[in-house]
Amino acid sequence: EVHQRVVHELFENVRPGTRYEALAESDKIRLLTEELRSSQLLMTPLRTYSAETASELSVLREAAEAHKHYGRVSIPNYIISKAGSPSDLLEVMVLFREAGLFRPDEPEAASMNIIPLFETISDLRRSHDVMQTVLAVEAYRTYVEALGGKQEIMLGYSDSNKDGGYLTSGWELYKAETA
């Protein structure tokens, strides 16, 4: 949700009226995919951003600095809590680009694994389709290939257990894992 709000704000500052948060998932994927082909940043020093957006990008910029000084092993993974849609992963790639952790003109320089954490029963049920869809996006697939061609995902038992109970949670985790 935070990534979505940050991406929404970035789009609204550059392309007022985009209304990113209100878009259908397919339109979000299309817009994010187009954006990932561009080296042009959304953030500009001529605008003022919310504290949330500034903070999120600051964290990612610090990760980029850590990579410059200590190498990729210093912060190898970025986990997306409550992942539930392909746009959740693509939003992170756009934010990585904004912070210097991803460059469309140098996809082989990918620097941090993007790891979705599917936690709720509905997210577990959609996890296979989410991963199929996002891996069909060329920019994302190229990014994963640059990091060794393996996509790690996490399946959450705590929220799914609260969401659907022990038995449903266990069954949905099993189905998501095998899918």
Q: Which residues pair with 125 in a beta bridge?
A: none
Phi/psi of residue 101, each to 5°?
-95, -10
Three-state DSSP class for residue 80: strand
| Each residue's pLDDT expressed in tens, for the chain with a length of 179 residues | 999 999 999 999 999 999 999 999 999 999 999 999 998 999 988 889 999 999 999 999 999 999 999 999 999 999 999 999 999 999 999 999 999 999 888 867 788 999 999 999 899 999 999 999 999 999 999 999 999 999 999 998 776 667 778 778 888 889 999 99
d(CA 103, CA 143): 10
pLDDT at residue 50 in the model: 97
pLDDT at residue 172 in the model: 85
Contact 76, 141 (CB under 8 A): no
pLDDT at residue 117 in the model: 96
pLDDT at residue 160 in the model: 67
User: Is the dihedral angle over the CA atoms 79, 80, 83, 89 positive or is it negative?
Assistant: negative
Residue 134 CB neighbours (<10 A): 24
Output the six-digit token pair for 161.
Answer: 């257990």
d(CA 21, CA 121): 23
